[in-house]
């Protein structure tokens, strides 16, 4: 029997959600500390649920949990002990599920939406922009796998529909993800890389090589890119399809912004949405799941959905 993700892929191109932190900031939240949007899992769970609901109302068929920056390591400096960090990771899933339940009640005829448990990269925990460079210092494959293992175990508890390995910038991390997909009997997954251009992930590895590291792992159903400049996406789609023709392609680029890691700020601003012709090109190029990352809010997701339906 096909999984929920397989069914969504088979149904044709579908919009997924946008930048979680983008919408939180639009609502007036200060996300300047190292926990970023994960702080709201502890300090503002109602706000987390409200953001998920906003994306569902905009037409997103997948909502991604607020666990990108969440881990035992990232919560420890603010006094959160490991057992409570794991509880907050699980809470990220239940909040997304609660938003989906609320949306079902207000729009019972709307298409079913999926909850994706976000697994941001090891570099996000380092909190100095390493998800855009892949420079992990002395961290090797085993250390990266250990870091993620704890997070996966906590996130799987509430039963997300899929795992979203996001913004992966490092080929060692791709190998660690493949290892973890072997260890856990969990839901299906996608793996999206952070790409420095149309042919290489952030650490300089050719995208085809990075995709090959995860393509055969159990449960991986889609590969692609996120938080990548939109002008590189069409080439990434082509290369992913060539490297893994049996997998779907997922893309959710940022809106053209450039992240300044040391300053912890966006150095340049984007438009908040993508040109319709770009979304059509991504769809026609073979992307099945299309959304937005940093800078793209509910209005941008609604525009993606309208273009995919046209």
Query: What interhelical angle do 171-183 and 141-156 show, nearest 10?
Result: 50
Lowest mean pLDDT among 71-75, 100-104, 207-211: 71-75
Q: What pTM does this model have?
A: 0.94
Cβ atoms 254, 195 nearer than 8 A = no
How many other C-beta atoms can be found within 10 angstroms of the C-beta atom of residue 79? 7
Q: Taking all residues of the chain, what is their mean pLDDT, rounded to a whole number? A: 93
pLDDT tens figures, 83-139: 999 999 999 999 999 999 999 999 999 999 999 999 999 999 998 889 999 999 889
For position 268, what pLDDT does the model report? 61
Q: How many residues does the chain have?
A: 310
User: Given strand 220-226, what is the order of strands in its sheet?
Assistant: 14-15, 289-290, 248-252, 220-226, 188-193, 162-168, 114-119, 62-64
Q: Domains plus CATH for the chain?
A: 4-309 (3.20.20.330)
Structure confidence at residue 263 as a pLDDT band (50, 70, 90) = low
Q: Measured between alpha carbons, how far is 79 from 266 in angstroms, rounded to an integer?
A: 28
């Amino acid at each position: 029997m096909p999984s929920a993700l397989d069914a969504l892929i088979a149904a044709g191109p579908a919009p997924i959600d946008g930048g979680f932190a983008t919408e939180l900031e639009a609502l007036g939240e200060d996300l300047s500390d190292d926990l970023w949007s994960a702080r709201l899992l502890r300090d503002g769970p109602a706000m987390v649920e409200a953001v998920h609901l906003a994306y569902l109302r905009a037409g997103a068929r997948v909502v991604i949990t607020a666990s990108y920056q969440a881990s035992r390591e990232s919560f420890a400096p603010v006094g959160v002990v490991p057992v409570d960090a794991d509880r907050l990771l699980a809470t990220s899933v239940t909040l997304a599920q609660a938003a989906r339940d609320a949306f079902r009640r207000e729009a019972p005829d709307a298409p079913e939406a999926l909850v994706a448990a976000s697994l941001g990269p090891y570099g996000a925990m380092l909190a100095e922009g390493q998800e855009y460079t892949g420079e992990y210092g002395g961290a090797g494959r085993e250390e990266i796998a250990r870091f993620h293992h704890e997070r996966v175990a906590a996130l799987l508890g509430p039963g997300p529909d899929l795992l979203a390995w996001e913004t992966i910038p490092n080929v060692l991390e791709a190998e660690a993800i493949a290892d973890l997909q072997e260890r856990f009997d969990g839901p299906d997954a996608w793996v999206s890389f952070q790409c420095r251009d149309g042919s290489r992930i952030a650490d300089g590895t050719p995208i085809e090589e990075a995709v090959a590291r995860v393509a055969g792992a159990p449960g991986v159903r889609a590969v692609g890119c996120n938080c990548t400049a939109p002008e590189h996406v069409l080439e990434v789609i082509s290369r992913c399809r060539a490297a893994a023709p049996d997998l779907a392609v997922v893309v959710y680029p940022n809106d053209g912004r450039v992240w300044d890691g040391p300053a912890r700020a966006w150095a340049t601003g984007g438009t908040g949405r993508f040109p319709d012709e770009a979304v059509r090109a991504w769809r026609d190029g073979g992307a099945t799941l299309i959304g937005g990352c940093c800078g793209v809010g509910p209005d941008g997701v609604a525009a993606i959905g309208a273009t995919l339906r046209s």
